[in-house]
Structures are given as structure tokens and as C-alpha cells.
Structure 1
Amino acid sequence: MTSPSTPVESASVGHPAYSQTYSCEPSTAEIGRNLVRDVLRVWRLDVLADRAELIVTELIANAVRHAPCDEIRLIVGRPSPTRVRIGLVDQEPSRHPVVRRASGDDESGRGLLLIDAVSDRWGYDLHGSGRRPRAKEVWAELRVQDDE
């Protein structure tokens, strides 16, 4: 588990990434926010932290609510020098994320709308082979500005 007393180190070659497996429960959101903030600090991309924390919070909330599983895996990576990708892997590949329009009275249902609003792009990938994927990763990307 990452905390302020446990520094995150980035890879010096290739596409750096950090991942951690957590319990699939609401309290994981705070731990996930701390992880993403620590990783962005190491990469000197603190300016992305607020949006990244919102993305992590919503991804974890969706997994807890819609993917009955024991564990989830949070991944924070740099697929390219101009992108940060935040992904959450769960073991429920048959439940794909769907954006829905919540009414004013609804207490939930806006998570993917928020992710869509604060990220540059988002989507999901199925993990595994053939017709029987073993997991699903829902991800969102933030663009790194040249001056960041």
C-alpha cells in the first residue's frame, strides 16, 4: 500500500507504470487517490492530480457497485510521454461500462459522465483470450501539456 511514508518510484525506461491490488470496497477510493497523487508527484505532474483523483474515485465506486468481486487492480501509467492513463481492472468482464443520463433525483449514475467530462478520453479493454475474457479494465487518459 502506498502512503506518504512509502514513496512511489517510476521506471526510467519504457513506459512507466505503477499498479496495486486492493479490496473491492468503498474505502479503497481514499487509498487509490493517495496512490495516484503520489505517482503524479514523482512524475512532476501534480497539476493533473485533482482530475486524476476524481477519475480514481469514480472508477472504484463503479467497480464496487457493479462488479461483485473481491479485488480490484489500480494502474497508473504513462502509455506515452503525452498521456497518463488511470485504469481499474475487475474480474467482471461481462459487465461493460455504459454512460447513462441520471435524472435530477437520482443519487447515483453520473460517474462515467464525470469521467468523460474531466478526461481526454476513456474506454475499456477486456483481458484474456478468445471468447472468455477473464477481466475488464476501465480506463481514462489525461493529456500532459508541454508546459507541465
Structure 2
Amino acid sequence: MTVYPSAEVEPYYTATLPRVPESARRARSLVTAALGRWGLEEFEDAACLVTTELVANAAAHARSDSLLVRVERIGPRAVRVAVVDRSKVLPCPRDAGPDEESGRGLWLVDALSGGRWGADPLKWGKRVWAVLGGAA
């Protein structure tokens, strides 16, 4: 886990993790530690659920052996959770049937973030993020 505080921007925490579903546990620990440090524990449940979904999607669809998790404070009462991977395919919510076991994760991310989520294409992959808390 790495912390990059700065006088000019809010601090953030990052971790490079293996691209496996089990990395969601370590990613949640990173988020929990960051929120505790910032006194924003009220966002912990939502942020951990969002993180789990973003890591699960990267583990299922990315091309590299690792992914990057970043949690940053973007305002006094707002955080952004992001997962970066090497797949250039941008995510989009899909309609899962009632008997399907997957396919609802991005709808959950959308609901927990109040629609404040997205994906940024990068030269070598993408960053999928969600904002939790007050206006940034």
C-alpha cells in the first residue's frame, strides 16, 4: 500500500494486486484503511461493495496479471475508488436474467455512487471509477 499525500491535492492510496477475484479482499482493506485515516468511515460499506465489483470485473475481463486499485479523497466528504487494468474494453451495464448469477455489478456501482461512475480510456487500458459521498 502506498500513500501519496501532497499539500496541493488530497492524498490517495494505491495498491498493485494480482488480477484474481481474491484481490478484492486486499482492495477492501486498502479502502477501509484510507477511509479510517480520513475519518470517512460512513462510506466504508458502499466503498467496499463498489471496490469488490470493480475488482471482480477487472479480474474477469482484463488482460494483464495485475491491476491497480486507487482510493483518493477528492473533497472534504467525497472519495473516488478506481481500478485500473490493461483491457481497453470499456464496461457497460447489462441486463441479467433472473436466473443469472452475474451481470448486476455495474448496476450496483451505479446505485451506490448515485450515478457518479465511469470509465476513462488509457493508452494501454482503462480506469473504472466511482465517487462516493458529497459533491467533489
Task: Say whether the 8 Å CA contact 2:54–2:128 is kept in structure 1.
Answer: yes
Task: Say whether the 8 Å CA contact 2:24–2:55 is kept in structure 1.
Answer: yes
Asked if 1:39 corresponds to 2:29, the answer is: no
TM-score normalised per structure 2 = 0.90
Structure 1 residue 15 displacement after superposition: 1.9
Asked if 1:135 corresponds to 2:135, the answer is: no
Structure 1 residue 9 displacement after superposition: 5.7
Alpha-carbon distance in 1 for matches of 2:73, 2:121: 19
> Residue 45 of structure 2 aligns to a residue in which SS?
helix
CA distance 1:141–1:25, shift in 2 (3 Å):
same
Larger Rg over CA atoms: 1
Q: Which residue of 2 aligns with 1:57?
A: 52
> Residue 108 of structure 2 aligns to a residue in which SS?
helix
TM-score normalised per structure 1 = 0.83
Structure 1 residue 69 displacement after superposition: 1.8
What residue identity is the alignment partner of 2:30? Answer: L
> Residue 78 of structure 1 aligns to a residue in which SS?
strand
Where structure 1 has 5 or more consecutive residues not aligned to the other structure, the ranges are 2-7, 128-132
Asked if 1:27 corresponds to 2:17, the answer is: no
What residue identity is the alignment partner of 1:135? Answer: G
Structure 1 residue 12 displacement after superposition: 5.5
Task: Say whether the 8 Å CA contact 1:10–1:42 is kept in structure 2.
Answer: no
Q: Deviation string for 1:66-114 (max 9, x for gaps)?
A: 1132010000012333420000000111x11011111100010011000
Aligned residue runs from structure 1 range 64-103, under 5 A: 64-93=59-88, 95-103=89-97
Task: Say whether the 8 Å CA contact 1:10–1:43 is kept in structure 2.
Answer: no
Q: Deviation string for 1:13-55 (max 9, x for gaps)?
A: 2221111100000110100111101100000000000000000
Alpha-carbon distance in 2 for matches of 1:49, 1:88: 17
Structure 1 residue 10 displacement after superposition: 6.8
